[in-house]
């Protein structure tokens, strides 16, 4: 059985004191409890990573990053390298988030280079895919998702593929309050798993975790995670409050 992964994407929010307070409140709410069937991850802004790493001491919560560049070093002003993240104990990196694609113009090719770099530096990429409102309305959601998936994963071997995390986040549902229905999300998740099976084989397809992201909150998380191909959540705004994120962490899931 695949462990669920509940990942907080703090985006461009919080300053050090606020980040520490949020981690303290979250740890107090969860009571340092450990889960056998799920993992929990927080991904702060890069400048907050040292602060959050310190705040997470003795906690089972893992430390992630929201982005990285694919080169180890060089004249890339403003970028963060995989070696920098690894030095702070970062275990997971969100790659290809829709905001990186649509605001910052990241291509499928660039995202593929970042996925490759994360794996080469022993970090788990959380590779995001998802369609815009126009693509959704024109019936091209699956076409877009599979194209993004192929562009990002093209360099992977079958042995590597099972070790990544996928995240389906329909762009039209991010920060809008709209959420794909559990049936819509499960349909896309199932197609992603099917494409994994065709590209990498049965075993990686059964191992890979596919998260849902897009206005996940305490009210809808149970219905989403009850679906067999939804292996967790990538949570934005609802992760900025300890009580709502702790409730999401405790989501009821399919047996």
Backbone phi and psi for residue 61, each to the nearest 5 degrees, phi listed first: -70, 130
The span from the CA of 161 to the CA of 208, in Å, is 7
Contact between 13 and 239 under an 8 Å Cβ cutoff? The reply is no
Distances (CA, A) of 166 to 148, 186, 206, 239: 11, 13, 13, 19
* Average confidence score pLDDT of the chain: 94
Best CA proximity match to 9, nearest among 235, 242, 249: 235
DSSP lists the bridge partners of residue 65 as 93
Q: Compute the average pLDDT of residues 39-61.
A: 96
Domains (range + CATH), the chain: 4-249 (3.20.20.70)
Question: Quick check: pTM over 0.85?
Answer: yes
Best CA proximity match to 52, nearest among 67, 63, 60: 63
Q: Which of 90-94, 137-141, 173-177, 242-246 has the lowest mean pLDDT?
A: 173-177
Instruction: Give the per-residue pLDDT at 178.
Output: 77
Q: Is 202 annotated as catalytic?
A: no
Instruction: Give the per-residue pLDDT at 255.
Output: 58
Query: CA geometry: angle at 193 spanning 244 and 153, to 5°?
Result: 95
Give the percent of the chain with pLDDT over 70: 98
Q: Is 72 annotated as catalytic?
A: no
Instruction: Give the per-residue pLDDT at 31.
Output: 76
Q: Compute the average pLDDT of residues 129-144.
A: 92
Asked if pLDDT for residue 9 goes beyond 90, the answer is yes
Q: How far is CA 30 from the centre of its chain?
A: 21
Which residue among the candidates 99, 106, 131, 169 is catalytic per the annotation? 169
How do residues 188-225 score in pLDDT, each as one tens digit? 999 999 999 999 999 999 999 999 998 899 999 999 99
Instruction: Give the per-residue pLDDT at 173.
Output: 82
Best CA proximity match to 76, nearest among 113, 43, 102, 48: 113
Which residue among the candidates 97, 121, 136, 189 is catalytic per the annotation? 97
**32: confidence class by pLDDT, cuts 50, 70, 90:** low
How do residues 156-179 score in pLDDT, each as one tens digit? 999 999 999 999 999 888 777 777
- Inter-axis angle of helices 242-249 and 16-30, to 10 degrees? 40
């Amino acid at each position: 059985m695949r462990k669920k992964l509940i990942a907080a994407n703090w985006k461009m929010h919080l300053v050090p004191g606020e980040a520490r307070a949020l981690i303290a409140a979250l740890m107090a709410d969860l009571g340092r409890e450990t889960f056998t069937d799920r993992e929990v991850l927080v991904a702060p802004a890069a400048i907050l990573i040292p602060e959050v790493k310190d705040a997470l001491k003795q906690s089972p919560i893992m430390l992630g990053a929201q982005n990285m560049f694919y080169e180890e070093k060089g004249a890339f002003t403003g970028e963060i390298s995989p070696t920098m993240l690894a030095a702070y104990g970062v275990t997971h990196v969100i790659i290809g988030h829709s905001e990186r694609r649509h605001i910052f113009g990241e291509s499928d090719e660039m995202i593929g280079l970042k996925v490759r770099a994360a794996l080469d530096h022993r970090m788990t990429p959380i590779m995001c895919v998802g369609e815009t409102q126009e693509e959704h309305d024109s019936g091209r959601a699956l076409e877009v998702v599979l194209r993004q998936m192929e562009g990002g994963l093209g360099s992977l071997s079958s042995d590597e593929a099972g070790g990544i995390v996928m995240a389906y986040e329909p762009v039209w549902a991010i920060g809008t309050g709209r959420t794909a229905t559990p049936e819509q999300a499960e349909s896309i998740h199932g197609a992603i798993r099917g494409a994994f099976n065709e590209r990498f084989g049965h075993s990686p397809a059964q191992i890979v975790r596919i998260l849902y992201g897009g206005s996940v909150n305490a009210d809808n998380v149970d219905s989403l995670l009850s679906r067999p191909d939804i292996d967790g959540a990538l949570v934005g705004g609802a992760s900025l409050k300890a009580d709502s994120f702790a409730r999401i962490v405790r989501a009821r899931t399919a047996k």
